């Protein structure tokens, strides 16, 4: 059986001390590693976002980029048409 670490990546995040303590306490009470608990929470959070259709931060950023690109494109067309008139 392949090593599960072969298909994982390392992500570094900074957590407030109180949150880290709570995660460690909860992991200990469930007899799981803190890393496993965090992975479970991330999977649940992703599932909740997908079920509710809630926009992710990436979706919101992309929508803003698209809006700006549309505005810039429209302004460019208007500017070019004024220069040729």
Q: pTM value? A: 0.55
pLDDT at 1: 47
Number of domains in the chain: 2
Residue 38's alpha-carbon distances to 3, 35, 60, 78, 82, in angstroms, are 20, 5, 24, 51, 56
Overall average pLDDT of the 27-53 stretch: 89
In a domain, 8, yes or no: no
pLDDT at 70: 86
In a domain, 2, yes or no: no
User: Which domain covers residue 64, as residue numbers?
Assistant: 55-85
Residues 22 and 42 in one domain: yes
CB 33 within 8 A of CB 41: no
Overall average pLDDT of the 21-50 stretch: 92
More confident residue, 20 or 68: 20
Three-class DSSP category at 3: coil
Q: How many CA atoms lie within 13 A of 76 on its CB side?
A: 6
Chain centre to alpha carbon of residue 50: 12
Whether pLDDT at 83 is above 90: no
């Amino acid at each position: 059986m392949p090593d599960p670490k072969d298909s994982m990546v390392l992500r570094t995040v900074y957590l407030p001390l109180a949150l880290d303590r709570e995660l460690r306490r909860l992991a200990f009470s469930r007899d799981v590693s803190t890393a496993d608990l965090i992975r479970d929470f991330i999977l649940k959070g992703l599932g909740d976002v997908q079920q509710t259709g809630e926009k992710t931060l990436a979706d919101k950023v992309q929508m803003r980029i698209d809006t700006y690109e549309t505005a810039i494109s429209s302004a460019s067309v208007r500017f070019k048409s004024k220069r040729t008139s």
